[in-house]
Amino acid sequence: MLLVLLNPSFPPFTTMLKSAFALFLAFNVADWITGWMKARLTHKENSKAGWKGVLKKLAYWIMIAVAFGASAVFVEIGKTLGVDLGITTLLGFFVLASLLVNEIRSICENLVEMGVDVPKILIKGLEVADKAINKDGEDFDEGE
pLDDT at 45: 86
The one-letter amino acid code at 4 reads V
Q: What is 69-101 written as a DSSP string?
A: HHHHHHHHHHHHHT---GGGHHHHHHHHHHHHH
Enter the pTM of the model. 0.77
C-alpha to C-alpha distance for 22 and 20, rounded to whole angstroms: 5
pLDDT at 108: 92
**pLDDT less than 70: residues of the chain:** 1-13, 136-144
pLDDT at 99: 95
pLDDT at 141: 46
Closest C-alpha to 38, from 122, 136, 106: 106
The answer for residues whose C-beta is within 8 angstroms of residue 125's C-beta and 6 or more apart is: none
Burial bucket for residue 26 (CB in 10 Å: 0-12, 13-18, 19+): exposed
Q: Count Cα atoms within 13 angstroms, Cβ side, for 125.
A: 7
